[in-house]
A and B are shown apart, each in its own frame.
Chain A
């Protein structure tokens, strides 16, 4: 066992603790008799715990990817069902933060991807987006140029210009993403997961842009 294995198993442990913290927070928030004066505070705690949790999941996944242990299981998924679950999973925190979270896509739009992996990309992207969103976050999915494109958009200030050009090569050279600051892990993770998806010579990728449907930042996941 080397240090990275110990790191991985500690991360796992921390993650379990966070799981319990999250569960207890849920109860606290739902319990009408609780003594917390400010529910919003509890929700913020929950939000941070969820963010920490999704970071840990990303670290663990990248660790497995580095050790060739990550199994990618691509299945066909209905996007309406899939996004409904994503939105459901993140709705409580968004409500507490007064951000409206919604999704749109064609009822019968299908896509081929590993649902667990893409779910963690989207969960953490939404987690990021509510730091910047003013009033709403929108998730949508469409078929474009032979790719399935899933977008997470907000109505905040948008991504800084320095971020938008960097992304195409990031998975190969993560050090280039230094300027991405604290979102470095998230973007590196997202582009690694995107690239694991391949079909007919095409590779998945991510893109950042501003002002797509909503005025703020727009994270795009392109899956072949």
Chain B
């Protein structure tokens, strides 16, 4: 057999020693020489952090601790897998459904046990060729340069290769990430014209959702579920849509169905818990948060908010002592994190209030305020501000609650999902504050500033435009869109009139601000690329 794989490094992850050695021997017979093994998820993470592998062969079932999906999640989350490396999930008959319903992170390929070495050889050869083919696209995606990624992808699509449909699917995913909804919609429709395909129909529903055509989106997702009652992703999106329509009880019911079909999805359980709690179904909430905490135990996505949710749900069910124990566990798990201190304090305030201990509750609230102050410099996530607002409202401090809500809206005037959360928080906390009107007004003001800025740029009055938009950015330093718009105005000026050091550093300052708020913002790639280009030409 040819020595095709002798220069590639492999990692085998399986909890079963016999299986590991069977795969090892199989790989050796294919000419593999660089080969490591891991016996469980923890061991795998250590090895993945230590060196980079070309191929990871991971069994889904790894005994107690992390499962294969969690290994993949954490490896991708911590960026331990290079753009050209392959992650292959080995599945058994009884894990097929579980593996397939994981949507957030997917492996490069699945391999059903048992497989022959001839199959593995064919598969690996294909996958290496595919990765090499997509290398340019993946590299562009890494820096979030969606335009470049799409261009590279279009070049590949042009040649109408064998994997054309896969490429088109990849293209729709990139278009959705880059929020180019009209193009995505056209492409989904083109695919659907040739044939009814669930993934394309689902994609079309997503576009409708993002375009705020909620009723139409609802129709699409409901239709998909009549065709296949096991389509977990359709439940998830239908629940999102129902939430957007403020049909909270329906959303909860739908998520319950999805969680029954696919109970291992962490974010789904958290969402269900949150919805159930705000709908007043504390038993359901306790169940969902309980599952979430258990699932997150070995996950890179573990977060104090899960424990806080569980503690509040337990307290709402009268189990105050258990609730305090959960908070204790949270503090232990996230010892050094300021964020955990804040969640511990807000949850404690909730429990103490449930116990009738108003003094203790107020004391906890002040501790939460202190954590919030400590975090002021690092850019406070909106979720924290909302958590804090809820707690203020619960303890009767309405003014402070509404001030935070107002700030949250101003920071996120165009982030629909966060705004929905804001509306939900106001409803749950029974705040005397008309969030929807506030949202409309803030949006109107921002849009006006923006339009004025664009008009000034068109008229060539760059300095006036920059002054206007930078001023707005300084007023709302935590609003990503406004900061990016100011940055873009300066970039456009430089693109027209030439780059200066001063302007470049002004853009950098704004970019850093946005990066601090969300390093993964989808617009950053483009702005940074243009800035880099200008910096190269600066005098």
Q: A residues touching B (Cβ–Cβ < 8 Å)?
A: 8-9, 12, 15-16, 18-20, 22-24, 26-27, 30, 53, 57, 60-61, 64, 68-76, 78, 80-81, 84-85, 88-92, 107-108, 110, 112, 116, 119, 199-200
Contact = CB atoms under 8 A, between A and B. Distances in A.
A107 B96 contact: no
A76 B165 contact: yes
Nearest to B110: A116
A18 B198 CA distance: 35
Given A15-B93, A26-B116, A92-B118, 9 more contacts: A26-B26, A64-B97, A71-B101, A75-B197, A88-B116, A88-B118, A89-B118, A108-B160, A112-B195
Nearest to B22: A23
Interface in B113-143: 113-119, 121-123, 126
A23 B198 CA distance: 37
B51 interface: no
Given A16-B92, A26-B26, A71-B101, A78 B162 contact: yes
B112 interface: yes
Contacts of B160: 108
- For chain B, the bracket of interface size reads 35 or more
B22 A61 contact: no
Nearest to B262: A71
Contact of A108 (B115, B162, B198, B231): B162
Nearest to A85: B122
B121 A61 contact: no
Contacts of B162: 78, 80-81, 107-108
Contacts of A74: 197-198
A173 B269 CA distance: 41
Contacts of A53: 114
B101 A200 contact: no
A96 to B, nearest CB: 12
A61 B18 CA distance: 26
A15 B94 CA distance: 11
B42 interface: no
Contacts, number: 103
Contacts of A23: 18-19, 22-23, 25-26, 114
B196 A71 contact: no
Interface string B227-240: 01111000000000
A19 B118 contact: no
Interface string B338-370: 000000000000000000000000000000000
A72 B228 contact: yes
Given A24-B22, A61-B93, A112 B197 contact: yes
Given A12-B93, A16-B92, A80-B162, A88 B25 contact: no
Interface of B: 18-19, 22-23, 25-26, 29, 92-94, 96-97, 100-101, 110, 112-119, 121-123, 126, 160, 162-166, 195-199, 228-231
A33 B199 CA distance: 51
A78 B165 CA distance: 9
Q: Which 10 A-B pairs have the closest CB atoms?
A: A23-B22, A76-B165, A19-B114, A88-B118, A89-B119, A88-B122, A78-B162, A60-B93, A71-B230, A71-B97
Contacts of B195: 112, 199
A174 B412 CA distance: 60
Contact of A57 (B22, B93, B229): B93
Given A16-B92, A71-B101, A88-B121, A22 B29 contact: no
Question: Which of B101, B162, B231 has most A Cβ within 10 Å?
Answer: B162
Contact of B116 (A15, A75, A81, A89): A89
A68 B164 CA distance: 32
B114 A18 contact: yes
B121 A20 contact: no
A57 B96 CA distance: 12
A199 to B, nearest CB: 7
Given A12-B92, A26-B26, A19 B113 contact: yes
25 contacts: A12-B92, A19-B19, A20-B22, A23-B18, A23-B23, A26-B25, A26-B29, A30-B29, A64-B97, A69-B230, A71-B97, A71-B101, A74-B197, A74-B198, A76-B166, A76-B197, A84-B122, A88-B116, A88-B118, A88-B119, A88-B121, A89-B115, A89-B119, A92-B116, A199-B196
Contacts of B101: 71
Given A27-B25, A110-B165, A112-B197, A85 B93 contact: no
Contact of A12 (B22, B25, B94, B123): B94
Given A24-B22, A78-B163, A199-B196, A116 B97 contact: no
A85 to B, nearest CB: 5
A73 to B, nearest CB: 6
Contacts of B112: 116, 119
Nearest to A73: B100
Nearest to B199: A75
B506 to A, nearest CB: 49
B395 to A, nearest CB: 47
Nearest to B19: A20
B162 to A, nearest CB: 4
A9 B93 CA distance: 10
A196 to B, nearest CB: 10
A107 B228 CA distance: 32
Contacts of B199: 75
